[in-house]
Chain A
Amino acid sequence: MSPLLAFAVTPRLARLSPVDLAIIIFYFALVLGIGWYLKARSKTGEDFFMAGREMTSWIAGLSFMSANLGALELMGWSAAAYEYGILATNAYWIAAIPAMLFLGVVMVPFYYICKTHSVPGYLKLRYDEPTRALSAISFAFMTVLMSGINMYAMALVLDIVLGWRMDFSIWISALTVAIYVGLGGLRSAIFNEVLQFVLIWGGALLIPVIGLIETGGWENLKLQIIHNTSVQYVHLWKYMGSFHNPMGVNWVGVVFGQGLVLSFAYWTTDFLEVQRVLAAKDLRSAKMAPIIAAGFKMFIPFIVILPGLLGLVVLPHLTGASLAKGGAHSYNAVLPLMMVRYCGPGLLGLGVTALIAGFMSGMAGNVSAFATVWTYDIYRPLIKKLGTDRHYVLVGRWSTILGVLISIGTAYITMQFLSIMDYVQGLFSIFIAPLFGTVILGMMWKRTTKKGGFWGLLVGTVSAASMFIWYKMSPAAVRYLALSKDAKPLAADIYLALWSWLICVIVTVVVSLFTQPQPEKELTGLVYGATEIPKEEGVSLLRKPAFWAAVVGIVFVVLNIIFW
């Protein structure tokens, strides 16, 4: 059973006061007002699709982080913390920070210098049209699918938490997103992501603070968690030597599958994220954006993981997803339950607004990325090559509305076929992991050829899809994929990403070695060793991205040691 389906059988959690409703209505009015205001600033393609490439490092960085910080993410990882303990923190540290720093320090210069509009656009410049078409179509498909699933999940959560009709939630949120992104384009999406970032901290920060007061501080909380569960729930790495831990995955899967492949694939090649970096005003801001985001990302566990851990102590009887019935609550609802526990009138409205803002900005991020890829990487090269800039902006606005409508359709399909929810992580591994192989080899190795890039991406994607179908049809296959009979389903998705990335890399390398290399002049501005990266001579240490990346890297290591 889908965790969210199980969530649906629990009773309504909260009733909103007039003050709470006023806060929610004010949020909707504000985002629509911002969209209307920004319409005048979105007349050219650069404005609409790239936010005029004028974002500061802080705005691009906060937006970069917030695009990933949807409400499903908040609720999902709070629930994971209740289920797996502090091991869930890996999703925010090892599975994010190294990849974000790598993007900022190593990859951004190539994306930025070639002035591409998108990741598929980079593949066109580096390889050829078929490689771009393959990645653009798979990205567009994945993006609207994810957007629809998120929309359905939001409607379900609002139905359960507040008793709102699902049709009402879907249409109100979808129309709001369609209006503000359709009017203001990427700039509008970025504005609302930054607003969401502030709302999430404003709405969620109180929960861990009051929770720690109630449980007597961190050390007392740990002792009570150990008493209620086991010592494995309070150590990040100590029990990762085997699959015998709450997560059922060992350190190899976490470090290489989750930390290297899945994380690097998502943070460095998913256009939903990279688009925010490309909108920065200059190369330094573009490099700083993911580094700033990494700095904030390290502290997200305080408002996401800690509520789940507190739940283990103050709400010790939440049931597993498939057991939640007859009035019992599932741990999938641990975050809203903690919100209701501590937040009185007004604060509850702010918390619910933060969740709605998270859902809507996640949807807006997907839709704005879809509009860009559809217009620049599918419509322009394959349907109408010689349109005016004004024409493409119009196509962008309409494709925003089209993306929202397809997402609504996907949401209703998901409502009918709930098992789709179980496939989300696997689909992500299929499309994103091989793409990372194609991009990173193209960017770092001059010898990679056009044919190598295309066939590596195609074979990697097809083999990932085949492995996915294999273990979905035969669950026993997980033991072969993850190389252990103790592996749990989560390990299967992680190892699926690892194998499909390896297959992509091997095929790309082999095909490249047997095909004609590209002349170096074609690789200028695109590949390491053929691109002159602007030097930062004469720049003070405090303004150097590499310095801040080192600072964030040191804090990351220290945090892992503290919670080892």
Chain B
Amino acid sequence: MEAARSISIWFFIGICLLVDGVLILGAGIYQLIHPPLHPVVLYSLHANVWWGALLAVVGLLFFVTHAPWRHRTKQ
């Protein structure tokens, strides 16, 4: 949906996923370097690293493809 003929809801979702993904990925990498004293169950999977990376990539995709400046350029 084009909310104001320029900014799509998917753009906001892209920002949200990108920021959250980067923060989660960062926390995961920090834990790789400094392993926690009380790890979560199946810590060995390093879920916050790959899940954070996935969210960041999907977020970046939405952010770029629905960016308002791209829309204006097309017009």
A contact set with B: CB distance below 8 Å: 17, 19, 22-23, 26-27, 30, 34, 37-38, 40-41, 54-56, 59, 187, 191, 194-195, 198-199, 202, 206, 210, 213-214, 314, 340-347, 349-350, 353
Contacts and interface: CB of A to CB of B under 8 A. Distances in A.
A341 B45 CA distance: 13
A206 B42 contact: no
Contacts of A38: 3-4
B42 to A, nearest CB: 5
B1 A56 contact: yes
Nearest to A314: B41
B24 A347 contact: yes
Nearest to A339: B40
B32 to A, nearest CB: 11
In this complex, the member of A17, A187, A202, A214 whose beta carbon has the largest number of chain B beta carbons within 10 angstroms is: A202
B27 interface: yes
Contacts of A199: 16
Contacts of B9: 59, 191, 194-195
A195 B23 contact: no
Contacts of A206: 47, 51
Contacts of B60: none
B39 A347 contact: no
A198 B55 CA distance: 10
Nearest to A41: B4
Nearest to B39: A344
B74 to A, nearest CB: 18
Contacts of A213: 42, 45
Given A17-B27, A345-B31, A345-B48, A195 B43 contact: no
Given A54-B1, A342-B40, A343-B48, 7 more contacts: A26-B20, A26-B23, A27-B16, A198-B13, A314-B41, A346-B25, A346-B27
Contacts of A17: 27
B19 interface: yes
Contact of B48 (A22, A56, A346): A346
A341 B26 contact: no
Nearest to B12: A34
Contact of B40 (A54, A187, A344, A349): A344
Contact of B3 (A191, A210, A344): A191
B3 A41 contact: yes
Most buried by B among A37, A347, A353: A347
Closest A-B pairs by Cβ, 4 of them: A346-B24, A346-B27, A345-B27, A19-B27
Nearest to A22: B23
B7 interface: yes
A161 to B, nearest CB: 16
A27 to B, nearest CB: 7
Contacts of A202: 17, 20, 55
Contacts of B48: 343-347
Contacts of B45: 210, 213
Contacts of A343: 40, 47-48
Contacts of A195: 9, 12-13, 16
Interface residues of B, number: 32
A281 to B, nearest CB: 8
B42 A346 contact: no
A50 to B, nearest CB: 14
A398 B71 CA distance: 35
Contacts of A37: 3-4, 7
A54 B3 CA distance: 9
Contacts of B3: 37-38, 41, 187, 191
Nearest to B19: A26
Query: Which residue of A17, A19, A199 has the most chain B CB atoms within 10 A of its CB atom?
Result: A19
B4 A40 contact: yes
Contacts of A347: 24, 47-48, 51-52
A346 B56 CA distance: 13
27 contacts: A19-B23, A19-B26, A22-B23, A27-B16, A37-B3, A37-B4, A38-B3, A54-B1, A55-B1, A56-B1, A194-B9, A194-B13, A195-B16, A198-B13, A198-B16, A202-B20, A202-B55, A210-B41, A214-B41, A214-B42, A342-B42, A342-B47, A344-B39, A344-B48, A345-B31, A347-B24, A350-B20
B47 A344 contact: yes
B16 A344 contact: no
B30 to A, nearest CB: 8
Contacts of B20: 23, 26, 202, 346, 350, 353
Which of B7, B20, B28, B40 has most A Cβ within 10 Å? B20
Contacts of A26: 16, 19-20, 23
Contact of A210 (B30, B36, B42): B42
B27 A344 contact: yes
Contacts of A345: 27, 30-31, 48
Contacts of B43: 344
A314 B13 CA distance: 34
B50 to A, nearest CB: 10
A435 to B, nearest CB: 30
Contact of B24 (A54, A210, A350): A350
A280 to B, nearest CB: 10
Contact of A341 (B4, B16, B27, B40): B40
Nearest to A347: B48
Contacts of A19: 23-24, 26-27
Contacts of B31: 344-345
B16 A346 contact: no
Contacts of A214: 41-42
Contacts of A194: 9, 13
A342 B41 contact: yes
Contacts of B23: 19, 22-23, 26, 346, 349
